[in-house]
């Protein structure tokens, strides 16, 4: 078994190294000078591998650990500018009886993948990389016509690069990102079954163009899938569209559905507006309780007019996502069953990508408790995805890490429905812990990608897990206990660790934590690790063969049910085509 790796501290930066042994102390700072290996294109794979001799992984561990993320960072002569622009690849690690392992990886055959592959170039725009086909504006001399041509192409060829999160829904593995596109995959083979578009749902409200949706939906205790979307609503002809927000659901998400039934069965809520805000007010993830869904609008805006200008000028749109301290963070509470708004709350400042957990106070069901990883004031999480920032080398990478530190800390908000409209303020879950000096990375760099045990989801809870931000991309695992303020850490120094999954034992008396690890620098092998769910002591690791790399990724999913049969590939036209030429022209002329 792997033992504690000791680290020598000094008054300066740590010298980066790979221990090949786990470390159970919260090292800070690690000062990595090269992370290039996690941003390398990977290959499709299908292979078996094994835990090391002496593994203590329990025999009850059965299931599939899935990840999704960018896996290809160039097409022909063109390279992506940002990590989250990369082409979506899905990975599945099957674990049988705690010992038999199979590693499968396949690129999603999205419309974006097919278009780029056919052109041998990047011809579909991602948030940080502009793309258009060769010759799109050749022969067009009028600047306004150039802009409208590019905008018409962009809106009729919206990316469907679903790289963020996977769910088991309606008999398929379903991939989401923050785009209208939805990708259905086969559970067994990872082949693409269908390319769908939320904007093509027949129940979508009239005169509405879907702009984005959340990558993080939820399957509730009634097996309904709930998610939220953002749209642009044309209320009057000749007037600019206004941003609106909506909840949507698929009831009985465990029911087998064809791709057509999947998109046709989506139901939408009433449309929500944020008064006085002309831009799209952003939130990355909602909060779900037994009875409610909460939209937590952040101090982050997406300027749709900025998008028109950037795309019309042949530039990426990442600068259109920005912090706005003047926005009022608003928490809109929906009755999740009727999908009707019931209350709103505000706070002074709020930026958070991911929820730890949310629940209704057992003593008062009208109190909603929301715990999340809050980002420090003024820090823009969209700044850290650019390769100029995250894939620098040497002292420049160290300086970038310190400059763009997000300092994500676990905090709690309480929304009391009996006093709707009340101003609320978050409190830190570990701000007053007496041993914070022993947790320098936890309290300074922070952590994200929070998880609770499936047994605790949506309930009053005590334990949660996060990925620590000791590098530009997660490098460690934390287990935190709220009641005792106790914390545990596991890390393999010099490695990126993927989002974990917590798997309870069949009797619910213990659990394990599963994750993949990939070295920041080329050379060492990638491996799967299984940890004890309480102490994070390592129970076993399994190395992948030499040359099998894992690109940096964010989110994971654990699946334990049987795979469904493969469905034939079907495609739908992009809902972006609903943007007519007259609409695009109107938006362009509004800029002048």
- Tell me the per-residue pLDDT of 128-175, one tens digit each, with 9 for 90 and over: 999 999 999 999 999 999 999 999 999 999 999 999 999 999 999 999
The pLDDT of residue 584 is above 90: no
Specify whether the backbone of 185 is left (phi greater than 0), alpha (psi in -120 to 50) or beta.
Answer: beta
Total domains, the chain: 1
Phi, psi of 18 (to 5 degrees): -110, 125
- Asked whether residue 302 is domain-assigned, the answer is yes
Tell whether 19 is covered by a domain. Answer: no
Exposure string over 260-282, b if 16+ CB within 10 A, otherwise e: eebbebbebbeebebeebebbbb
Whether 84 is in a domain gets the answer: yes
Instruction: Give every CB contact of residue 206 below 8 A, 6+ residues apart in sequence.
Output: none
Q: Could you tell me the pLDDT band of residue 238, with boundaries at 50, 70 and 90?
A: confident
Domain annotation covers residue 371: yes
3-class SS letters over 207-238:
CEEEEEECCECEECCCCCEEEEEEEEECCCCC
Span of 9-18, 350-359, 524-533 with lowest mean pLDDT? 9-18
Strands 570-571, 192-197: pairing kind = parallel
Residue 524 pLDDT > 60 = yes
The Cα-based distances of 191 to 105, 257, 573 in angstroms read: 10, 17, 20
Paired residues of 321 in beta bridges: 302
Euclidean distance between CA atoms 523 and 503, whole angstroms: 31
**CB-CB contact of 472 with 397 (8 Å):** yes
Q: How many CA atoms lie within 13 A of 351 on its CB side?
A: 21
Q: Do the domain assignments include residue 41?
A: yes
Q: What is the pLDDT of residue 566?
A: 44
Q: Checking DSSP bridges between strand 555-559 and strand 218-219, what pairing results, if any?
A: unpaired
Residue 195 is encoded by which pair of tokens? 């390319």
Outline where 373-457 has alpha helix (H): 387-390, 394-403, 440-444
The pLDDT mean for the chain works out to 91
Query: What pLDDT is recorded for position 591?
Result: 43
What percentage of the chain has pLDDT greater than the value 90? 88
For 428-445, the pLDDT digits (tens) are 999 999 999 999 999 999
What pLDDT does 580 receive? 42
pLDDT recorded at residue 579: 45
- Whole-number Å distance between alpha carbons of 74 and 121: 8
Is residue 24 assigned to a domain?
no
Polymer length of the chain: 592
Please give the Cα distance from 233 to 249 (Å, whole number). Answer: 20
Using the structure block, give the residue that is written with the tokens 């993948």. Answer: 113
> What separation in angstroms does the CA of 393 have from each of 209, 476, 542?
42, 21, 29
On whether residue 317 sits in a domain, the answer given is yes
Q: Which two tokens stand for residue 142?
A: 């009028």
Contact 481, 472 (CB under 8 A): no
Is residue 170 one of the residues assigned to a domain?
yes
Round to whole Å and give the CA distance between 69 and 126: 14
Residue 78 is part of which domain span?
A: 36-590
> Are the beta carbons of 123 and 161 closer than 8 angstroms?
no
pLDDT at position 18 is: 43
């Amino acid at each position: 078994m792997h033992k504690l790796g000791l680290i020598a501290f000094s008054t300066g930066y740590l010298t980066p190294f790979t221990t090949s042994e786990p470390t159970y102390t919260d090292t800070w700072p690690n000062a990595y000078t090269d992370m290039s290996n996690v941003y390398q294109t990977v290959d499709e794979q299908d292979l078996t591998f094994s835990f090391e001799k002496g593994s203590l992984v329990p025999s009850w561990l059965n299931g599939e650990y899935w990840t999704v993320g960018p896996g290809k960072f160039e097409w022909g002569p063109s390279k992506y500018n940002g990590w989250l622009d990369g082409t979506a690849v899905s990975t599945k690690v099957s674990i049988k009886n705690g010992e038999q392992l199979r590693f499968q990886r396949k690129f999603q055959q999205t419309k974006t993948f097919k278009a780029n592959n056919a052109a041998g170039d990047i011809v579909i725009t991602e948030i940080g990389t502009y793309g258009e086909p060769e010759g799109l504006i050749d022969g067009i001399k009028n600047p306004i016509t150039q802009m409208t041509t590019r905008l018409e192409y962009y809106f009729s060829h919206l990316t469907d690069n679903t790289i963020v999160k996977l769910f088991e829904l309606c008999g398929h593995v379903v991939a989401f990102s923050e785009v209208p596109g939805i990708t259905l995959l086969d559970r067994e083979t990872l082949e693409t079954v269908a390319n769908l578009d939320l904007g093509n749902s027949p129940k979508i409200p009239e005169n509405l163009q879907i702009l984005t949706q959340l990558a993080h939906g939820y399957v509730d205790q009634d097996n309904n899938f709930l998610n939220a979307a953002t749209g642009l609503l044309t209320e009057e002809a000749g007037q600019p569209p206004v941003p609106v927000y909506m909840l949507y659901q698929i009831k009985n998400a465990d029911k087998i559905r064809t791709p057509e039934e999947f998109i046709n069965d989506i139901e939408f809520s009433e449309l929500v507006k944020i008064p006085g805000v002309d831009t799209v007010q952003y939130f990355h993830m909602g909060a779900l309780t037994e009875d409610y869904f909460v939209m937590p609008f952040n101090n982050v805006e997406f300027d749709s007019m900025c998008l028109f200008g950037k795309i019309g000028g042949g530039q990426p749109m990442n600068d259109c996502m920005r912090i706005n301290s003047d926005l009022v963070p608003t928490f809109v509470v929906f009755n999740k069953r009727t999908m009707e708004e019931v209350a709103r709350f505000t706070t002074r400042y709020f930026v958070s990508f991911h929820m730890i957990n949310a629940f209704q106070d057992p003593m008062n069901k009208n109190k909603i408790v929301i715990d999340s990883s809050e980002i420090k004031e003024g820090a823009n999480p969209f700044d850290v995805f650019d390769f100029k920032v995250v894939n620098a080398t040497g002292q420049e990478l160290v300086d970038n890490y310190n400059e763009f530190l997000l300092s994500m800390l676990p905090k709690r908000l309480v929304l009391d429905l009996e006093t709707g409209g009340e101003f609320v303020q978050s409190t830190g879950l570990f701000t007053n812990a007496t041993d914070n000096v022993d947790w320098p990375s936890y309290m300074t760099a922070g952590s994200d990608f929070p998880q609770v045990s499936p047994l605790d989801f949506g309930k009053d809870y005590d334990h949660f897990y996060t990925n620590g931000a000791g590098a530009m991309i997660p490098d460690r695992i934390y287990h935190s206990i709220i009641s005792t303020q106790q914390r545990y850490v596991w890390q393999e120094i010099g490695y990126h660790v993927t989002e974990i999954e917590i798997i309870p034992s069949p009797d619910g008396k213990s659990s394990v934590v599963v994750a993949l690890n990939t070295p920041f620098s080329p050379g060492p092998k990638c491996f799967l690790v299984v940890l004890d769910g309480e102490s994070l002591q390592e129970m076993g690791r399994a190395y992948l063969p030499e040359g099998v790399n894992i690109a940096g990724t964010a989110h994971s999913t654990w699946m334990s049910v049987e795979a469904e049969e493969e469905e034939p590939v079907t495609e739908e036209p992009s809902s972006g085509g609903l943007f007519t030429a007259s609409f695009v022209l109107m938006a362009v002329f509004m800029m002048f």
